[in-house]
């Protein structure tokens, strides 16, 4: 099986031993505590599950600036985005102290992890803008990722962490949330060697379904992991539970048995386009995938990125050998009226736009909200029904 990034074995930071975890929970009760941001909580979940291997905790300012600028830490470890714990204030804390990190996304703000603080540093607004420009290719506050990144404070707490739980992800999505360790183990149990990962924050329509099938066939892959983001999204995106139901319905009805795993991960969407695509590749390698599908406007939002910037970053900016996972580049896919099947549009040079069934996201949402199913060439009817139910319930509420 493909090796994790940066080490021979995964280093999940979740304390899996029950006795050790109970002792840590007892210690946490007597420690000073800080309620972290949603982004820092999601980073803890990803560190706990082994997705951010080989990191042992949150980055310091030097590493954060270096990663933003060159995609490597000060020591030379390749990593595409800073992994930070930024707070408004570190009053009462000092380097060398232990602190309980409390979860902002769960009622009662329970302790999510215990941190050994190695450094407390205050970054300037200019340094945050420098990092935002490198990560998101913009400092526009209208960009949802920039807004979240710039709005959490300026004090960086860096150091190693021990993770006690997986926030709300394990309880709210018990059948879907899986750690990198668990996915890697299931891939091994299935005997899969070549594994394609498909990233999604949206329901999957026919084009996405066929893209997974194309990748599996062209790569002669043993299987595909449809891996959905379960964390926070921008306003207007479809909730995780609805996406989960629609994706599972599609897989159950239209893929061969035991050819697709449907899983999810606990992270907030960055909308960082190319940089986030590289992060997606890194943690898919950690979970055992050998290939990641990167399509048009992968992890993008608005008009901040070029259609294929998330593909070219792998050849133009990611150093050779930095990652072992390979990229399956995909063009926009759509149903061809001429051929009677879904194709990549760049592989149909004799087609005009009129030869494809193309619907904008706005048009699809309008149809679903009015109880009108998109054509079956665009969306499977079972999936469309789930989405129509959601949009109509939203309209009625």
Burial classification of residue 17, based on how many CB atoms lie within 10 Å of its CB (0-12 exposed, 13-18 middle, 19 or more buried): exposed
The residue annotated as part of the active site, out of 11, 202, 329, 365, is: 202
The string of DSSP codes covering 32-56 is -EEEPPHHHHHHHHHHHTTTTTT--
Entry field: residues in the chain = 397
- Which has the closest alpha carbon to 166: 19, 51, 56? 51
Q: Residue 31 and residue 14: Cα distance in Å, rounded?
A: 19
Beta-carbon neighbour count of residue 376 at 10 Å?
Answer: 12
Residue 202 annotated as catalytic: yes
Which is it for strands 195-200 and 155-163: parallel, antiparallel or unpaired? Answer: unpaired
The residue annotated as part of the active site, out of 154, 190, 201, 248, is: 201
Residue 106 phi, psi dihedral angles, 5° rounding: -125, 135
Say if CB 380 and CB 254 are below 8 A apart: yes
Please measure the distance between the N-terminal and C-terminal CA atoms of the chain and give it in whole angstroms. Answer: 48
Active site residues: 201-202
């Amino acid at each position: 099986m493909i090796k994790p990034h940066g080490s021979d074995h995964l280093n999940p930071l979740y304390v899996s031993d029950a006795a050790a975890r109970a002792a840590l929970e007892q210690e946490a009760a007597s420690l000073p505590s800080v309620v972290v941001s949603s982004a820092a909580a999601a980073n803890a979940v990803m560190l706990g599950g082994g997705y951010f291997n080989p990191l042992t905790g949150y980055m310091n300012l030097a590493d954060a600036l270096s990663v933003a600028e060159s995609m490597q830490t000060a020591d030379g470890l390749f990593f595409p985005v800073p992994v930070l714990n930024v707070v408004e204030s570190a009053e009462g804390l000092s380097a060398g102290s232990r602190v309980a990190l409390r979860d902002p996304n769960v009622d009662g703000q329970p302790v999510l992890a215990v941190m050994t603080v190695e450094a407390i540093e205050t970054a300037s607004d200019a340094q945050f803008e420098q990092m935002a420009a490198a990560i998101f290719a913009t400092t526009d506050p209208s960009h949802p990722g920039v807004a979240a990144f710039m709005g959490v404070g300026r004090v960086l707490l860096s150091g190693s962490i021990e993770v006690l739980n997986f926030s709300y992800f394990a309880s709210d999505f018990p059948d879907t949330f899986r750690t990198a360790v668990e996915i890697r183990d299931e891939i091994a149990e299935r005997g899969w060697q070549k594994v394609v990962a498909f990233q999604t924050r949206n329901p999957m329509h026919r084009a996405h379904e066929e893209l997974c099938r194309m990748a599996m066939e062209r790569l002669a892959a043993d299987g595909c992991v449809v891996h959905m983001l379960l964390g926070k999204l921008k306003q207007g995106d479809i909730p995780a539970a609805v996406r989960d139901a629609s994706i599972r319905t599609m897989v159950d009805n239209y893929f061969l048995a035991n050819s697709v795993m449907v899983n999810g991960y606990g992270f907030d969407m960055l909308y960082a386009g190319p940089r986030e695509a590289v992060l997606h590749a890194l943690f898919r390698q950690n979970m055992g995938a050998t290939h990641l599908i990167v399509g048009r406007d992968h992890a993008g939002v608005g008009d901040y990125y070029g259609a294929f910037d998330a593909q070219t970053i792998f050849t133009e900016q990611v150093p050779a050998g930095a990652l072992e996972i390979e990229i399956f580049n995909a063009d926009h896919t759509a149903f061809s009226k001429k051929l009677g099947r879904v194709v990549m549009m760049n592989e149909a040079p004799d087609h005009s736009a009129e030869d494809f069934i193309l619907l904008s996201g706005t048009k699809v949402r309008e149809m679903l909200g009015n109880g009108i199913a998109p054509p079956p060439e665009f969306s499977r009817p079972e999936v469309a029904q789930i989405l129509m139910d959601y949009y109509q319930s939203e309209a009625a509420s």
